[in-house]
Chain A
Amino acid sequence: MSLTHLETLEAESIYIMREVVATADNPVMLYSIGKDSAVMLHLAMKTFYPNKLPFPLMHIDTTWKFKEMISFRDKIVSKYGLNLIVHINEEGVKMGVGPYSHGSSVHTDIMKTQALKQALDKHAFDVAFGGARRDEEKSRAKERIFSFRTEKHQWDPKNQRPELWNIFNTKKHKGESIRVFPLSNWTELDIWQYIYKENIPIVPLYLSKQRPVVDRDGVLILVDDDRIPLKKGETPMMKEVRFRTLGCYPLTGAVESSAKTLTDIIQEMLSAKTSEREGRIIDFDHSASMEKKKQGGYF
């Protein structure tokens, strides 16, 4: 009896998580609230069933996330009785850093990348789970499942440890850390199929509905609160939109869609002409930009 591809992927992810718990001193799961995090959390709960997760979740809150993401996060945490750490870069808040005042790359660096490093150092986490997938982006496709970071959280793409069979080298020196990606071999379609099959709760922003948006250089941005600068006389348009990926609301483009259910989403995906990261403004810089950010410590 051979396993289906989703069963194979599920077994592999569970194996990876157990390997971390068996060898790490102080692991943490990065929880970004999106669909990949939802699947990763669901798998983690299966992995340690009937017991609770033996590590905390951590959300790096840039203070510019969609309101619906935050309320969904809090609902999930209380529903499953999870231990959640929320970390905000308070220095960044004091300096008033935001995507409008400082631009997307400064904002992402200070409120996300630097914040993540602060939080990992503060709690002395030696292993951090992330929900990244290899099919998302070219430099991710090259990354190991157990991806080693120096004391300064840097990634050296040219010097990665060979990863053989399912034997993972989890050794590191004091101060060094490992980022572990249990969903490495999942594709976007696998994620949706699994959400559908397992009935995993997701943020409603993935489903289409009438929402107020403004057009910024051809990208539809949701008017999530009054921090978004409106042009003189501009009023938000009501459009039937949804999001394929979730990040900071001013940096995440909505797509016009009538997909109101999971099956609609999958239907839409099967005929999609653009990749999910297209809506991510931070990826637009140039072709190796993700690799650069990752070398600096971005997830």
Chain B
Amino acid sequence: MSNDVEKYLMEQENKQLLRFITCGSVDDGKSTLIGRLLYESQLIFDDQLAELHATSKKFGTQGDDLDFALLVDGLAAEMEQGITIDVAYRFFSTDKRKFIVADTPGHEQYTRNMATGASTADLALLLIDARTGLLPQTFRHSYIVDMLGVKNICLIINKMDLVEYSQEIFEKIKNDYLEFSNGLNIENIIAIPVSALKGDNIIKASEYTKWYDGESLLQYLENIPLINEKPNKNFILPVQWVNRLSHDFRGFCGQVADGGISEGDPITIVPSNKKSKIKNILVSDKKSSFCSKGQSVTLELEDEIDISRGDIIFTEDSSCEVADQFQGKLLWMDDNRMVPGRPYTFKFGVSESNGSVSKLRHRININTFATEAASSLELNEIGIVNIALDKKIPMAPYTESKALGSFIVIDKISNNTVGMGLVNFALFRSDNIHWHKMDINKASRSNAKNQKPIVIWFTGISASGKSTIANILEKKLYSIGKHTMVLDGDNIRHGLNKDLGFTDVDRVENIRRIANVSKLMLEAGLITIVSFIAPFKAERRLARDLMGEEFLEVFIDVPLEVAEARDPKGLYKKARSGNLKNFTGIDSPYEIPDNPDIHINSDKISADVAADMIIKKLTQIKVI
């Protein structure tokens, strides 16, 4: 007996791992299919089956039958609503392979969760209801699966029992899909007629589909060759962490992204371009003469070279682009839309940089694959974008290297993951624009004026008193011999920004330009007072990041009722009557600053006292 187990364990050890997703539209029966696979491969334990009987009675949608979907829809809200909200990972194995299944939601609003599941999948099972044929979500999911580089799609034409196992219907759906998929890069597409509910063609050939001579679903999953990305002779190791926890050891750790390398092989470090040779290889904790793709390794080098997290170790003959500007595809995953110019953090594997979308080239309609003009990306929309990073990062097109070509977008305020992206190719524009180094600099200009430059950034709703306070403040500074400049919303919008309106997108661009003009004023050595509504945290943060230490945020705070009662330009009245759209405080939001340097309640103190508060702060921080 014990020998049998040992033999079994030996076989188990040589099993491969296949990761796949189930996708398709709502109610196509994805969860039911997985429940059925688990049940048929005898992975449902008695206590789970007992619980399933109980929950089927309470929530089930299959009458007296077991509702297999309830095996996978684990969240309380999912059971109550009878839908899948988030990706669930399920595991089963057969004699040949171990499988990890990501069951992904079908609702359009949860497309981002579907993409989460697809990002790590080798294969996709795309479910289609035989009664309805192809649906918009079929196209949407196919597009995402294709975009993420999944090479195998298996069409599960489900609910065949409800169309009397009709070959005609099956063939029609299959042909419709093959026609549609001509526009995609997917290499292998097959179709299987199935009833997940009844178990037809899941494990073995169904009696009802004698016209079908292909494999059952499980046979397909067991036999499909695992396509690796094109085998690459070039070795790529993104350095994840440097192990120097003891003095005499310096090991460079990471997971091999591509290729393989042997002891003694020469390597190059990107971006420093330094060269060395491999002295020692540890695969996990075992010394080895060779390591290859997928392994977590620690490398010791012959020479002492400064290497840190985010650098890449390459074989000498391979090349990698190092860029701070690139074109890519972006799938937006947040309720707050993506606006070009807004600052985000971009994380590539183990390296990250601040940056922004410098240009939204177009949005892709993933039902028709047509390109459409757009000024922003909403939740679940995909666009082709140019991205500008604050520093250079090693990258490669996603089609060549998943590891170097994929990134996530992180919101700088909420810290949420708000987007996922793929590199198309690096752009080299910034190499052509050289920053002119001048002999006369900010320090010399401000010395000549006998002052320290700073940007005093006012923010507050319309009629909060920004312009009034700015005017008094400037007079006070002028009277003590300081060189100043006021940038005021109304003035700038008549000139530099007269092409911009008041939509969120235009507001972001408005502030981006103002921030950059302020930066030039700062370079000129001026004390610059910026008086704009600046309603969004993200852009105020952009301004602060641009200016660094030489920045004071002043929140001119007033209750909306007070501002509305003041209404010097009659704007609130217009907005209330609907004659003025996108007015801050009425139908466009104002995000209150969390930690302004100065907080002025302009309904409680006079503009003069307010200006003195700012003068006092400037004195404290030794600007004047």
Is the beta-carbon distance between B240 and A22 smaller than 8 angstroms?
A: yes
Residue A19 is within 8 A (CB to CB) of chain B in the complex: yes
- Please state if B75 and A49 are interface contacts (CB–CB under 8 Å): no
Q: Does A158 contact B (CB under 8 A)?
A: yes
Q: Closest Cβ of chain A: how far from B195's Cβ, in Å? A: 25
Chain A, interface size category, equals 35 or more
Contacts across chains A and B counted by CB atoms under 8 Å: 205
Any B CB within 8 A of the CB of A105: no
Interface presence of A101 (CB below 8 A)? no
Q: Are A141 and B72 in contact (CB under 8 A)?
A: yes
- Whether B415 and A171, one on each chain, are in contact in the complex, defined by CB atoms closer than 8 angstroms, is yes
A142 touching B6 in the complex, CB below 8 Å, given contacts A5-B16, A45-B285, A167-B348:
no
- From B45-53, B185-193, B265-273, B558-566, the one touching the partner chain is B45-53
Kindly identify which residue among A2, A163, A166, A167 contacts B226, using a CB–CB cutoff of 8 Å.
A2
Partner of B17, one of A5, A49, A52, A134: A5
Is there contact, CB below 8 Å, between B75 and A52?
no
- If A54-B245, A139-B75, A287-B79 touch, does A165 touch B13 (CB 8 Å cutoff)? no
Interface residue tally on B, bucketed by range: 35 or more
Q: Which residues of A sit under 8 angstroms from B45, Cβ to Cβ?
A: 272-275, 278
Give A1-46 interface residues, CB cut-off 8 Å to B.
1-12, 14-15, 18-19, 21-22, 45-46
Q: How far is the CB of B310 from chain A (nearest CB, A)?
A: 10
Q: A275 contacts which of B16, B48, B77, B243 (Cβ < 8 Å)?
A: B48
CB distance from A150 to the nearest CB of B (A): 12
B120 interfacial by beta-carbon distance below 8 Å: yes
Which residues in chain A, 213-264, are within 8 Å of chain B measured between CB atoms?
A: 261, 263-264
Residue of B nearest to A54 (CB): B245
Q: Which residues of the other chain, B, contact A173 by a CB distance below 8 angstroms?
A: 415
Say yes or no: is A160 at the interface (Cβ < 8 Å to chain B). Answer: yes
Pick from A19, A197, A278, A292: contact of B47, CB below 8 A.
A278
In the complex, residue of chain B having the shortest beta-carbon distance to the beta carbon of A273: B46
Is B365 part of the contact surface with A, judged by Cβ < 8 Å?
no
Q: Which of B8, B17, B100, B119 contacts A164 (CB 8 A)?
A: B119
Asked if A193 and B13 sit within 8 Å, CB to CB, the answer is yes
User: B292 at the A/B interface (Cβ < 8 Å)?
Assistant: yes
Does A167 lie within 8 Å of B408, measured CB to CB? yes
Interface residues in B3-21 by Cβ distance below 8 A to A read: 4-6, 8-9, 12-17
Interface of B is mostly: mixed
Shortest Cβ distance from residue A165 to the other chain B in the assembled complex, whole angstroms: 5
Give bound CA distance, A275 to B77, whole Å.
24
Q: Flag if A15 contacts B255 (CB, 8 Å).
A: yes
Is A185 part of the binding interface, using a Cβ–Cβ cutoff of 8 Å? yes
- Determine if A51 and B249 form an interchain contact, defined as CB atoms under 8 angstroms apart: yes
Q: Is A135 an interface residue (CB 8 A)?
A: yes
Measured in the bound complex, the distance between the Cα atoms of B240 and A47 in whole Å is: 12
Which of A4, A10, A193, A197 is B296 in contact with, Cβ under 8 Å?
A10
Is B463's beta carbon under 8 Å from chain A?
no
- Contact partner of B347 (CB less than 8 A), chosen from A142, A169, A266, is A169
B136 at the binding interface (Cβ < 8 Å)? no
The 8 closest A-B pairs by CB, nearest first: A138-B74, A51-B245, A49-B285, A14-B296, A288-B76, A5-B17, A275-B45, A171-B415
28 contacts between A and B (CB under 8 A): A5-B98, A6-B13, A8-B17, A11-B284, A11-B295, A14-B296, A15-B296, A48-B245, A51-B246, A134-B91, A142-B87, A157-B75, A161-B416, A162-B112, A165-B119, A167-B349, A167-B408, A187-B91, A189-B12, A264-B2, A266-B5, A267-B2, A273-B46, A274-B45, A274-B47, A275-B48, A288-B79, A291-B76
Which B residues are within 8 Å of any A CB, using their own CB? 1-2, 4-6, 8-9, 12-17, 45-48, 51, 54-55, 71-77, 79, 85-91, 93, 97-98, 100, 112-113, 115-116, 119-120, 226, 228, 240-241, 243, 245-246, 249, 253-255, 260, 282, 284-285, 292, 294-296, 298, 309, 333, 345, 347-350, 402, 406-408, 410, 415-417, 420
